[in-house]
Amino acid sequence: MKNIIIGTAGHIDHGKTTLIKALTGRDTDTLKEEKKRGISIDLGFTYFDLPSGKRAGIVDVPGHEKFIKNMLAGASSIDILLLVISATEGIMPQTTEHMDILSFLNVKNSLIVLTKCDSVDFEFKEMVKDDINKRLKNSFIKNCEIIEVDSITKKGIDTLVSKIDFLTENTTSKDENLPARLNVDRVFSLKGFGTIVTGTLLEGKIEIDDELFLYPSNKLAKIRNIQVHGENVNCAYAGQRTAINISNLKVDDIKRGDVLAKNNSVKEAMMLDVKLSLVDNLKKELKSWDRLKLYHGTREILCRVVLLEKEVLKSGENCFAQLRLEESIVVKNKDPFVIRTYSPMFTIGGGVIIDVSYKKHKRFDKNIIDELKRKENGDLKIIIDEFILKNSNSSIEDILKYTGETKENILLEIENLINQNRIVKLNSSYIHKISFENLKDDIKKILYDYHKKNRLKLGIKKEELKSKLKDFNNKEFDILIDILANQKVIKIIDKMVALYDFDVILNQKQKEIENIVLSKVRESGIKNIPSINELNENNYYKEVVEYMIGKTLIKLDDLYIIDKETYEETKNKIINYLKENKEITLANLRDLTGASRKNCVIILENLDRNNITKRIENIRVLNEN
């Protein structure tokens, strides 16, 4: 079932609260000061049941210009607007400002409610209606139906209810599959319960015992109980006015404007890239570096504006801009916002958040403006593509947080991007094809330089190559080099990496050295195992010895070396001995090979490291693992 929020707007004393009482039988003015002064100061909330069976939440916003901040907090979640205009006065200043505000908040369905109709004669009422139609003909509610009511006598109330019920059929349901998000508009404490927060659940759903995060303070909030329209429920859904009992936070930990949301589902920033529009009736121009008040959700925050494609912004115009905030804020792309002047305060515009930004943009930068135009179009595939291009090794969690989209939709678009060869998957992260090609070039350059300096080495050790690259864990790196090996960019030889076309070619002198070294090592055998230093008579010898290791020579440890044939013969002798005798000691190996105790230790420790044998105190056994 759709969950509908109806909101009132209009000038002070035009009868918004009285109208809601006529609709619901309940008074939304609850503060003592509100009762005393006869005006709404803070937000009022209630509900009523429509003829179709739908239960609609109602937000009653204050009309006085001093309480516009409170009005904005309530208007941010409205599905159906009731613009309340008194028949005795017609459109007044706060009517106009409320209209300006709501034009930026994506309210799709509206009715004009002409109140106090029994207080004026027919001619005056018709004159007021004509004036309303003329003055609103260019607004977002042009051609909106005017419903005449008198809240005291309840004349026209049934007609209004019927019209509201009809509009609910055209109201788009909020997405319950997105991560939960609620903008806090009230926080208080109840004896026996503790901390209570209220707000409209904008997206997703929440259940008892869920854990949400409170932003921007990043505190964990545990849900003890949930109420919707005054009734305890196990689950609340997107579009419902919700009261949440939080078990682990105090009232002082939370304030209006905070956001309750699933972990990593919103973006925190000090700068916002936006499409900014000014109201049509503005008498002043907006310039870069003007100080403004930003209203987003239930939050009010000071900021400076930087116009990215205009010197000044005039009444009725729009452009891309960057808002540089004085406090951090959490948002999602496509969120609406409103701006007001700092002093004196009045509404001048609003728009939509295109993206958060982590660096200051230069004005009139064509690349930045073109990028914002693409993001403004809202194509999820393009948004993901550009995010991964800017953020190598992006995880699904990073993309979820950035886009605010469902995991299902993101995975679908990622699959499309992979199939289109736009991104590459590395284990659980993704890298853009452009970044991948740059990385490939970097690796080729590293290997080229390495081969140039080490002409007789088969390649660079994998760990050494990995250390020269940034931001890759072991699994990602292994997948990366496997991809490059499959593409025949590189080859992998005994845990070493080389360019695919690289081969070691010995010249005649080096071949002679190779024969000399191999002959010397074979003559030494196991009884007189030589050290590498003994073989490296000069740099020519050193290069050749390094080339031979892994081919005809085996490094027993960091110092000693043996020829491959002798090593295999000795290893097999030890294995066969262990199969017959179950264990071997140093003395046994001396008797078996005739080698010195030192050389026996070197051989056995090498077999231990290669998991062929296992040491138990002073004996070795075959390693069965």
pLDDT at site 531: 85
Reply yes or no on domain 525-531+548-622 having CATH 1.10.10.10: yes
Do residues 243 and 226 touch, judged by C-beta distance below 8 A?
A: yes
- State pTM to two decimals: 0.68
Q: Is 594 helix (H, G, I), strand (E, B) or coil?
A: coil
Average pLDDT over residues 235-255: 91
The architecture of the domain spanning 379-505 is Orthogonal Bundle (1.10)
Task: Give yes or no for a cis peptide into 93 (omega within 30° of 0).
Answer: no
Give me Rg for the CA atoms of the chain: 37
Q: Is 580 helix (H, G, I), strand (E, B) or coil?
A: helix
Neighbours of 424 (CB within 10 A): 20
pLDDT bracket for residue 29 (50, 70, 90): very low
pLDDT at site 44: 66
Do residues 590 and 604 touch, judged by C-beta distance below 8 A?
A: no
**Dihedral sign (CA 114, 118, 120, 122):** positive
Cα gap 545→561, rounded to integer Å = 10
| Superfamily (CATH H level) for 181-261 | Translation factors (2.40.30.10)
Cα gap 110→307, rounded to integer Å = 32
Do residues 77 and 200 touch, judged by C-beta distance below 8 A?
A: yes
At 22, the amino acid letter reads A
User: Is the pLDDT at 383 greater than 60, yes or no?
Assistant: yes
User: Is the pLDDT at 28 greater than 60, yes or no?
Assistant: no
Average pLDDT over residues 315-338: 93
Give the list of residues 6+ apart from residue 581 with CB closer than 8 angstroms, or none: 588
Domain spans, the chain: 4-168, 181-261, 267-375, 379-505, 525-531+548-622
Do residues 422 and 376 touch, judged by C-beta distance below 8 A?
A: no
Nearest to 274 by CA among 386, 358, 383, 351: 351
Per-residue pLDDT of 183-210, as tens digits, reads 998 899 988 888 999 888 888 999 999 9
Do residues 47 and 25 touch, judged by C-beta distance below 8 A?
A: no
Helices 539-548 and 508-524, packing angle to 10 deg: 70
Per-residue pLDDT of 423-479, as tens digits, reads 999 888 899 999 899 999 999 999 999 988 888 788 898 889 988 887 778 888 889
> Poorest-confidence range of 30-39, 122-131, 257-266, 317-326?
30-39
pLDDT at site 73: 53
Cα gap 410→169, rounded to integer Å = 29
Per-residue pLDDT of 105-159, as tens digits, reads 778 889 999 999 999 999 999 999 999 999 888 888 888 899 999 989 999 999 9
pLDDT bracket for residue 33 (50, 70, 90): very low
Tokens representing residue 601 in the block: 């230790």
Q: Is 43 exposed, middle or buried (0-12, 13-18, 19+ CB in 10 A)?
A: buried
Cα gap 165→2, rounded to integer Å = 12
Tokens representing residue 23 in the block: 């609709």
pLDDT at site 72: 57
Average pLDDT over residues 12-29: 78
pLDDT at site 582: 93
> Poorest-confidence range of 49-53, 547-551, 571-575?
547-551
Cα gap 364→344, rounded to integer Å = 30
Examine domains 181-261 and 267-375 and report if their fold is the same.
Answer: yes
Of 221 and 21, the one with more pLDDT: 221
Q: Is 269 helix (H, G, I), strand (E, B) or coil?
A: strand
At 625, the amino acid letter reads N
Selected from 2.40.30.10, 2.60.120.10, 3.40.640.10, 2.130.10.10, the CATH number assigned to the domain covering 267-375 reads 2.40.30.10
Chain centroid offset of residue 621 CA:
54
CATH domain 4-168 topology: Rossmann fold (3.40.50)
Q: How many residues does the chain have?
A: 625
Task: Give yes or no for a cis peptide into 216 (omega within 30° of 0).
Answer: yes
Cα gap 328→336, rounded to integer Å = 17
User: Is the pLDDT at 37 greater than 60, yes or no?
Assistant: no
Average pLDDT over residues 495-522: 87
User: Is the pLDDT at 494 greater than 90, yes or no?
Assistant: no
Q: Is 160 helix (H, G, I), strand (E, B) or coil?
A: helix
